[in-house]
A and B are shown apart, each in its own frame.
Chain A
Amino acid sequence: MDAAELLLITGLTLRVSLTAVALSSALGIPAGILIATGQRRRKALTLAVNTAMGTPPVLLGLVLYLLLSRRGPLGFLGLLFTPEGMILSQFLLTLPITTGLTISAIESLPRETRELIESLATRPAFKMLLLANEAKLQLLAASLTALARAVSEVGSVIIVGGNIRYYTRVLTTAIVYHTNAGEFEAALWLGAVLALVYLSLNAVVLAVRTAVMRE
């Protein structure tokens, strides 16, 4: 494996994980706010989301494989063994995380804050915006937690992506490949790059968090 391949693998890891988490945050945060502030079925929905947070990635990968395979009901989408299919699997894996942690974040806001927004905002979009603003640090942490899961996940991306060299191989699946091939030095180097990627993402989030707190 040369430097160009390493860059390709790292780039794909970032592209897949960041896209998936951006999508799961865009959907999961509003969904979490709606569930946390809803009157109906709040407990049942929270239970369902919390349960989904513990979904084993290999199980998700298997289900997606069956759905996306040529004979599966979604086979016509042609997503199996593609980066887009991997994004879908990471999105589904991280959606319960962003949703669930958003529910916790909103529920942990002081009662006065929630009631103030409730009494002020008669437009649902503004209510959501004001609540998200109050919980912005927790929501940032929710997205970071989802990102950590996405970057380090291997079970579903290896099944849905197929670990195809130069096309769907990401850092975690590359580590699996080199370990299976007995190339432990390469696997360890990839592990170090993975740790470095995660450290860099954390540093960016920490900088944003600090800036927000200084506000």
Chain B
Amino acid sequence: MIEAGGLVKSYGDLQVLRGVDLRVERGEIACVVGPNGAGKTTLLRILALLEWPDRGVVTYDGVQATRDNAASLRARIAYVPQRGHVLSLSVRNNVLFALLARGIPAEEASLRADEALRAVGLYGLRDKHAPALSGGQKQLLALARAFALQPEYLLLDEPTASLDPENAGRARKLLREYVRARRAAAVVVSHSMSEVRELADKTIVLVNGRVVAAYAGAPDDAALSRLFA
């Protein structure tokens, strides 16, 4: 379970999060929606332990995240930032090295890398230099890397924003199946109505750093239309 309580974060005079609470059970996908500048990405980066809140706590299955245990907690998290950032390596090595960097034995890492690339349809491009991929392919690669890590917690920032409808659908299906099969907990920042409809077991709406509404599942169409208007 991912739990955040009373998260407050400021950059200078700008208060980005103003007491955000969040709870995501195992086997559940929580979608975070809201306008630009609402604090969604900051929230995700704090959950990924890449930034620290000024106040408030983040816990993973009851273990409070601190700077001292951040590395061991990160080993159980896969974070996919916006725009699917990739490393200056081949497509396959982007996945393989991520696994090796987490201490996965080479033989298993190799199998997992190929399996993940097949799942997202990038196996045919495995020897290509990853920075030369298109934006959508980079995003698929970032997702393949995240799934290959077999994390307990997935944190995805607009994971299908650059994907065509077919690949976006495939990525969502993979995410849903992964979360159910592995009893993982996922937080997905999204700007897409269809994504929220398809994925959300719960939805929180963030505006100006505050949770202004929360829904079990996805909000109804009228509410979604208002949120994404």
Q: Which A residues form the contact surface with B (CB < 8 A)?
A: 39, 110, 112-113, 115-123, 126-127, 130, 133-134, 136, 215
Contacts and interface: CB of A to CB of B under 8 A. Distances in A.
Interface of B: 45, 48, 50, 67, 71-72, 74-75, 77-79, 81, 83, 85, 87-89, 97-98, 100-103, 129, 145, 149
Contacts of B89: 133
A148 to B, nearest CB: 26
Given A116-B87, A119-B48, A119-B74, A130 B81 contact: no
Contact of A122 (B50, B87, B102, B145): B102
A122 B77 CA distance: 11
A126 B101 contact: yes
Contacts of A112: 81, 83, 85
Contacts, number: 55
Given A115-B50, A122-B74, A133 B87 contact: yes
A133 B88 contact: yes
Nearest to A113: B85
B50 A123 contact: no
A113 B72 contact: no
B101 A120 contact: yes
Contacts of B102: 120-123
Contact of B87 (A118, A134, A215): A134
Contacts of A134: 87-88
A180 B19 CA distance: 75
Would you call the interface of chain A mostly helix, strand, loop, or mixed? helix
B72 A122 contact: yes
A215 B50 contact: no
Given A116-B81, A120-B98, A134-B88, 7 more contacts: A112-B81, A119-B50, A122-B75, A122-B101, A123-B102, A130-B87, A130-B101
Nearest to A136: B88
Contacts of B149: 120
A119 B88 contact: no
Contacts of A110: 85
Contact of A127 (B79, B88, B101): B101
Contact of B97 (A39, A115, A126): A126
B126 to A, nearest CB: 15
A39 B129 contact: no
27 contacts: A110-B85, A112-B83, A113-B87, A115-B45, A116-B81, A116-B85, A119-B77, A120-B98, A120-B102, A120-B145, A120-B149, A121-B102, A122-B74, A122-B101, A122-B102, A122-B103, A123-B101, A123-B102, A126-B97, A126-B100, A126-B101, A130-B87, A133-B87, A133-B88, A134-B88, A215-B88, A215-B129
Given A39-B67, A133-B89, A118 B50 contact: yes
A133 B131 CA distance: 13
Nearest to B142: A116
A117 B101 CA distance: 9
A121 B101 contact: yes
Contacts of A39: 67
A39 B72 CA distance: 17
Contacts of B100: 126
A77 B101 CA distance: 41
B97 A130 contact: yes
Contacts of B129: 215
A127 B101 CA distance: 7
Nearest to B49: A119
Given A122-B75, A122-B102, A130-B97, A117 B81 contact: no
Nearest to A215: B129
A207 B165 CA distance: 43
A130 B101 CA distance: 9
A215 B88 CA distance: 9
A115 B77 CA distance: 13
